[in-house]
Amino acid sequence: MAANAEKPGSIRVSQDVAASRRSIAGDSEIHRPSRPENDLRQSIADTTLDPGHPREWRPADSALTKQVYQQLLGLNPFKSSFLSLYRNLETRGEYGTAILGALLAAAAGVPLPIMFVIFGKIINSFPPPEDELRTRIGQLLGVAAAYFVITTVYMSSFGRVGEKIAINLREKLLRCLLSLDQAYYDTHDLDVTSLLTAKIETIQVGTSEKVGIFIQSIAYFVAAFVVGFILNAKLTGILLAAVIPAMIIIVATGSAWISKLSKRLTTCTEQANGVLESALRSVKVVQAFDFEDSISRQHLVHLEESAVSGIRKAIVAASVLGLMYFVAYAANGLAFYVGSGMAKDGGAG
């Protein structure tokens, strides 16, 4: 009993320690808001920036930043139209340059059919008198000069517009990237180089001279058939029925294949760049764990897939272009064959 009995002093000390612990716990409960244990653990887990176990970072304004992140990563849920790219123009002068380029591109499709009409008049009166020949040559030179000026102005206008769109997009994208949290860069594989260079350059190419060439081609198509129906409706109808369906089939099928292969090529290139950038950022870890060979093989696999996709894209694009030229020259042959029978009574031009 004597061994099991405690001294009165030790009992008093233990009671004082227990009371002080309860007091400290009570004070901490007063100054610390009540929070369930599971919520506290979840909060700690959510804010962990362990690079070995990355977790999604959820900032306070998740609605706005989620939309921005999706746009940065190419996951924009809003299917924007092509014309929405021109909303990146800021001043009235830039919008005026774009409108001027579109109008002049449409006008650039008209001179070529007019030149054909002049050639036709020369052939109808062949050999033409000297005065008439001088007049026709002057008309051809005037149409050619107008065509040169119009083409130069609309090409320059669309080139300027494409550059301004690219500059404005880079500035907006850079401001957005600088406003992102560092935690987002630590937990997401963001290819900033590809965003600022390759993707912006693609937008610049798609909003500059190619738009003017497309508008000019549409205007030339309409003007050529209008002039053709005025001169000879029967021959123009035969060519229209023979050429247009073949061109639509070739362009539609070839464009779908080229677009699919282009996306595949871009994906493989981005994956290869991502592997390379990740290895360079963590070069010490790669060297420490001897990952050089495995990362090199992974990078080589993506490069080989990119090369295969590029070769297939080149073959399909060349085939489409060859078929288009074949249809164009076949249409010329058909026109000469059918037109030669119609020109027996005159009107060869």
pLDDT, tens digit, 9 for 90 and up, residues 6-44? 444 444 445 554 555 554 444 444 444 444 444 434 443
> Residue 189: pLDDT band by 50, 70, 90 thresholds?
low
CATH topology classification for 73-231: ABC transporter transmembrane region fold (1.20.1560)
> Residue 199: pLDDT band by 50, 70, 90 thresholds?
confident
117-155 per-residue burial string, b: 16 or more CB within 10 A, e: under 16? ebebebeeeeebeeeeeeebeebeeebeeebeebbebbb
> Residue 334: pLDDT band by 50, 70, 90 thresholds?
confident
What pLDDT score was predicted for residue 265? 86
> Residue 348: pLDDT band by 50, 70, 90 thresholds?
low
206: three-class secondary structure by DSSP: helix
Indicate the length of the chain as a whole number: 349
Q: Which residue has the higher pLDDT, 40 or 318?
A: 318
Is pLDDT at 75 greater than 70 in this prediction?
A: no
Percent with pLDDT over 90 in the chain: 9
> Residue 128: pLDDT band by 50, 70, 90 thresholds?
confident
In whole angstroms, give the CA distance from residue 12 to residue 8.
Answer: 6
pLDDT, tens digit, 9 for 90 and up, residues 149-166? 999 999 999 988 888 888
Q: What is the mean pLDDT of residues 272-279?
A: 81
CB–CB of 231/120 below 8 Å? yes
What pLDDT score was predicted for residue 179? 78
Q: What is the mean pLDDT of residues 186-203?
A: 72
The reported pTM is 0.56
The CB density around residue 65, as the number of other CB atoms within 10 Å, is 18
Q: Which residue has the higher pLDDT, 49 or 224?
A: 224
What pLDDT score was predicted for residue 345? 65
> Residue 219: pLDDT band by 50, 70, 90 thresholds?
very high
Does the 233-349 domain belong in CATH 1.20.1560.10?
A: yes
Mean pLDDT of the chain: 75
At CB < 8 A and 24+ separation, what contacts does 27-32 make? none
What pLDDT score was predicted for residue 239? 85
pLDDT, tens digit, 9 for 90 and up, residues 82-114? 777 788 788 888 888 889 999 999 999 888 888
Q: What is the mean pLDDT of residues 314-341?
A: 87
CB–CB of 302/268 below 8 Å? yes
Which range has the worst mean pLDDT, 149-153, 195-199, 210-214, 273-277? 195-199
pLDDT, tens digit, 9 for 90 and up, residues 226-262? 888 888 888 888 888 888 888 888 888 888 888 888 8
What pLDDT score was predicted for residue 107? 92
Fold match, 73-231 / 233-349: yes
In 3D space, the residue among 60, 43, 48, 39 whose CA is nearest the CA of residue 187 turns out to be 48
Q: Which amino acid is at 56?
A: E
What pLDDT score was predicted for residue 151? 92
* Domains of the chain, residue spans: 73-231, 233-349
Question: Quick one: DSSP state of residue 83?
Answer: G
